[in-house]
């Protein structure tokens, strides 16, 4: 272990590094773009606003006409650090949000320092590992994926506490490991899944290399049991709710072809040696590397997914000292190099002969769509491997394989290192020449080879003149500068904040559009109405801006959506590209029955209605705001959010959606009830509600995210219909007594009512024992099928 001064110096080095990185974003007026701002930042602001009011936003009414935030892994509700940040700073700016994400990487980097210190690495080597972990390769290029960054950042701390627990199997350490591992796993994304597998593999590897594996595990069972119980207690409910959502979502599983298309093409490994070999860092976005435009086979990766650069010095150490010198085979780091090999195989996905078997037979893999996510495991492995190799250099100098091992093996390893480097460079150049960018790639490769040559020369001189410590320090400083130059606030992870102005500092046109929309909606609200809007074809930040603006949007941006809504309404993958907006037979246009039931009464578009894509219906609509950037239209035919139906008819909701045929009915006096729910209605009630009975009255008294209060008055029995999405976890109470909720009008909620005056309360209670039990039984039923 290190002296306290060394530990503080190493941590100070990482803090300075991440502070300089944050400064580059702030100084350039840039923010981390794409998913970070289109999705995670609005989720955070929605969480913060709810907490400011004293609520926890379990249900999100502003997203796809209603969304179960509590079950969405990307909602940040179960991310304790962001939950606390939302409590303290509910209206944090986009830049503050980015700095907080970077602080998570610093936390992970500190964990890397501790792991290196436990192994006795020199502090300089540990700082190198920390910098690679924080801003190397995928950690920089995919900084936009806030949820994955959170999972990634907790991994070093989880691994550290696991190793401490294995060395000292005390209950307290078991509880600590259980907490940190579950905080990592709470992300419920593929990065969390893969790192959970790494932790399990680390435990099994420690047992396997012990003299008596079974005794090793038995001697630690109390600590392991404490870890499992702690982790299970933290994870059980979030995981169960997410699995419940997946079962009812548009993606309960990922088809093999979709997952395979997210594999990392082997040619991308060339970015380890030459970061800009494919124009990945080109500010004009002229990227010519693997992707859906350049690959013959289906491939939907892009330059952010395909980028792996960690610095010239770590790569030189890896190829020369690690592979050619044989140090990657050292016993003390064998597990991490096994981890690297396994992660590489998984990352390459369909480019290896084993991914199809992994997909078919390994539990959990089919839930995720992108094997390239394992690049996060690669980057963590690269960080620890680079630290070990630099430590060995400082302690023992350059490797001398021809003195330490048989000459044939030494020649073989040297040839393997040279051959691998040449294969990556030549493969990358061949790809670039084939796509007309050979000269640019040659320049990038030449520049990288010059830097690599300088690194190799420095290592040789440091060894020859006994200045290895100084050379190591200079190489770490140079790597830090290189990572800041290449990987911080570059085109892979930075865009001008003005591109997301609607989220933080709206432009004049945006303010005008929102003011006109709010004015019209407030006038409707005074009459007891709750219309919804559709935002389509505006820049990325607009997709989920409704969460910040408090507008109930029928679209949004989220890979997870309620399946029935997806099939019936056709919102598509995002709301930026109007061509992705589908119009199924159940939603043929904005004046159709389903559009009216949704209460969809406003269109907010990025171009005039007449200039939208041809497949989009052209409803007659009145413009209420027009600028050169934003066009707001009013449709004027929305149905009431709540009404009392005095006649019900059965319908097979799934069949109606599948056959694009919603039966016609009088939306003011009638309701459709799913056939599966008809038995839940009182037969006497069903018999009493005859066509032609007097209409009742339903008035929304209070509407909150997770609680809705409605006054109902009728002279006849009937069915209260609320045009909010039907989803498990919602409960109803009539005058304080529990009442059943049935699926009404294909997508919505209905509650049977006796005549008279009643107060009806809808409550979203996903944590209730009834809902959790229902979720568990549903999952068991699916497993048996």
Crossing angle of the two packed helices 438-464 and 468-487, in degrees rounded to 10: 160
763 has which bridge partners?
A: 707, 731
Going across the sheet that includes 748-753, the strands are: 642-645, 718-725, 748-753, 742-744, 670-674, 647-651
Question: In angstroms, what CA-CA distances link 761 with 555, 670, 738, 754?
Answer: 26, 21, 9, 15
Dump pLDDT digits (tens) for 457-490: 999 999 999 999 999 999 999 999 999 999 999 9
Q: Give the 3-state DSSP-derived string for 739-755, with helices as H, strands as E and coil as C.
A: ECCEEECCCEEEEEECC
As a whole number, mean pLDDT of residues 226-235 equals 98
- Assigned token pair, 414: 């040297």
**Residue 687 has what pLDDT?**
47
Query: pTM for the whole thing?
Result: 0.96
Residues with Cβ within 8 Å of 181's Cβ and at least 6 positions away in sequence, in order, are: 158, 161, 162, 196, 199, 227, 231
Please state, in angstroms and rounded to a whole number, the distance separating the CA atoms of residues 388 and 400: 17
**Under 8 Å between Cβ of 217 and 207:** yes
Q: Which of 248, 307, 29 is nearest to 771 (CA)?
A: 248
Statement: residue 785 has pLDDT above 70: no
Query: How many residues belong to the chain?
Result: 785
Q: Is 168 exposed, middle or buried (0-12, 13-18, 19+ CB in 10 A)?
A: exposed
How many Å apart are CA 680 and CA 689, to the nearest integer?
Answer: 15
Region 54-65: what's the mean pLDDT?
Answer: 96
- Under 8 Å between Cβ of 116 and 294: no
Q: Tokens at residue 37, please?
A: 């701002």
- pLDDT score for 681: 77
- pLDDT higher at 260 or 573: 260
Average predicted confidence (pLDDT) for the chain? 95
Q: How many CB atoms lie within 10 A of CB 159?
A: 25
Strand order across the beta sheet in which 532-536 lies = 532-536, 600-605, 631-634, 622-626
Q: pLDDT-based confidence at 540, cuts 50/70/90?
A: confident
**Residue holding tokens 């049935």?**
742
* Alpha carbon distance 40, 253 (integer Å): 23
Q: What confidence category does residue 781 fall into, taking pLDDT thresholds of 50, 70 and 90?
A: low
Residue 441 phi, psi dihedral angles, 5° rounding: -70, -40
Q: Which residues pair with 734 in a beta bridge?
A: 737, 760
Phi, psi of 622 (to 5 degrees): -100, 125
Phi, psi of 553 (to 5 degrees): -95, 145
Model confidence pLDDT, tens digit, residues 164-183:
999 999 999 999 999 999 99
Query: What one-character DSSP code corresponds to residue 616?
Result: S
3-state secondary structure 128-175: HHHHHHHHCCHHHHCCCCHHHHHHHHHHHHHHHHHHHHHHCCCHHHHH
pLDDT at 537 over 90: yes
C-alpha span between 706 and 77 (Å, rounded): 14
357 neighbors 87 (Cβ within 8 angstroms): no
Locus of tokens 């109470």 = 733
- For residue range 691-733, list pLDDT tens digits in order: 455 568 999 999 999 999 999 999 888 899 999 999 999 999 9
What SS3 class is residue 384? helix
Alpha-carbon span 452 to 296, nearest angstrom? 33
* Mean pLDDT on 23-50: 98
How many distinct helices (H) and strands (E) make up the chain?
Answer: 29, 17
């Amino acid at each position: 272990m290190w002296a306290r001064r060394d530990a503080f110096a190493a941590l100070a080095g990482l803090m300075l590094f991440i502070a300089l990185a944050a400064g580059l974003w702030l100084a350039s007026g840039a923010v981390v773009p794409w998913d970070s701002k289109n999705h995670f930042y609005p989720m955070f602001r929605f969480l913060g606003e709810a907490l400011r009011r004293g609520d926890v936003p379990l249900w999100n009414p502003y997203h796809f006409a209603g969304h179960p935030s509590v079950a969405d892994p990307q909602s940040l509700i179960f991310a304790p650090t962001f939950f606390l940040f939302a409590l303290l700073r509910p209206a944090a700016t986009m830049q503050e949000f980015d700095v907080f994400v970077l602080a998570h990487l610093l936390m992970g980097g500190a964990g890397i320092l501790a792991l290196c210190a436990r192994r006795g690495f020199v502090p300089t080597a540990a700082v190198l590992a920390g910098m690679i972990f924080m801003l190397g390769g995928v950690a920089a290029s995919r900084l936009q994926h806030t949820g994955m960054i959170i999972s990634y950042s907790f991994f070093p701390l989880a691994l550290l506490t696991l190793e401490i627990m294995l060395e000292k199997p005390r209950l307290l350490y078991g509880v600590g490991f259980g907490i940190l591992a579950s905080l990592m796993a709470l992300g419920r994304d593929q990065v969390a899944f893969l790192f959970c597998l790494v932790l399990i593999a680390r435990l099994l590897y420690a047992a396997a290399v012990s003299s008596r594996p079974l005794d090793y595990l038995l001697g630690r069972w109390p600590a392991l049991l404490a870890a499992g119980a702690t982790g299970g207690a933290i994870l059980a409910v979030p995981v169960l709710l997410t699995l419940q959502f997946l079962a009812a979502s548009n993606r309960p599983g990922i088809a093999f072809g979709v997952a395979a298309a997210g594999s990392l093409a082997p040619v991308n490994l060339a970015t380890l040696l030459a970061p800009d070999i494919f124009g990945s860092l080109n500010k004009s976005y002229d990227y010519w590397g693997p992707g859906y435009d350049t690959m013959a086979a289906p491939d939907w990766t892009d330059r952010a997914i395909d980028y792996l650069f960690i610095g010239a010095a770590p790569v030189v150490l890896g190829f020369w000292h690690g592979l050619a010198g044989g140090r990657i085979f050292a016993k003390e780091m064998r597990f991490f190099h096994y981890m690297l090999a396994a992660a590489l195989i998984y990352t390459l996905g369909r480019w290896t002969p084993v991914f199809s078997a992994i997909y078919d037979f390994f539990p959990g893999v089919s839930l995720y769509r992108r094997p390239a996510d394992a690049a996060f495991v690669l980057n963590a492995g690269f960080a620890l491997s680079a630290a070990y190799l630099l430590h060995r250099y400082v302690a023992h100098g350059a490797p001398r394989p021809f003195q330490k091992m048989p000459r044939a093996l030494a020649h073989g390893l040297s040839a393997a290192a040279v051959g691998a480097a040449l294969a990556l460079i030549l493969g990358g150049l061949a790809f670039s020449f084939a796509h007309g960018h050979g000269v640019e790639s040659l320049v990038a490769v030449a520049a990288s080879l010059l830097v690599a040559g300088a690194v190799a020369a420095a290592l040789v001189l440091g060894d020859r003149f006994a200045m290895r410590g100084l050379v190591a320090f200079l190489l770490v400083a140079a790597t830090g500068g290189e990572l800041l130059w290449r990987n911080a606030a570059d085109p892979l992870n930075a865009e001008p904040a003005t591109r997301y102005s609607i989220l933080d500092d709206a432009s004049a046109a945006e303010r005008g559009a929102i003011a006109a929309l709010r004015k019209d909606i407030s006038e409707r609200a005074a009459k007891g109405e709750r219309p919804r809007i559709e935002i389509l074809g505006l820049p990325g930040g607009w997709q989920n801006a409704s969460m910040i603006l408090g507008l109930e949007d029928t679209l949004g941006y989220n890979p997870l959506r309620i399946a029935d809504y997806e099939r019936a309404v056709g919102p598509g993958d995002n709301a930026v590209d109007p061509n992705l907006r589908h119009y199924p037979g159940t939603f043929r246009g904005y004046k159709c029955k389903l559009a009216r039931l949704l209460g969809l009464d406003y269109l907010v578009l990025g171009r005039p209605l007449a200039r939208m894509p041809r497949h989009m219906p052209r409803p007659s609509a009145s413009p209420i705001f027009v600028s050169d950037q934003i066009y707001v239209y009013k449709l004027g035919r929305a149905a009431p959010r709540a009404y009392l139906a005095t006649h019900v008819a059965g319908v097979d909701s799934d069949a109606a959606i599948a056959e694009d045929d919603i039966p016609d009915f009088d939306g003011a006096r009638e309701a459709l009830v799913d056939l599966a729910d008809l038995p839940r209605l009182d037969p006497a009630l069903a018999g009493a509600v005859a066509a032609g009975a007097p209409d009742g009255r339903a008035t929304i008294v209070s509407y909150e995210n997770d609680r809705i209060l409605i006054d109902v008055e009728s002279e006849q029995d009937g069915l209260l219909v609320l045009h909010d999405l039907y989803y498990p976890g919602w409960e109803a109470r009539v005058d304080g007594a529990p009442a059943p909720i049935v699926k009404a009008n294909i997508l919505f909620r209905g509650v049977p009512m006796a005549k008279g005056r009643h107060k009806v309360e809808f409550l979203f209670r996903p944590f209730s024992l009834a809902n959790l039990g229902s979720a568990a039984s549903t999952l068991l039923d699916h497993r048996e099928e």
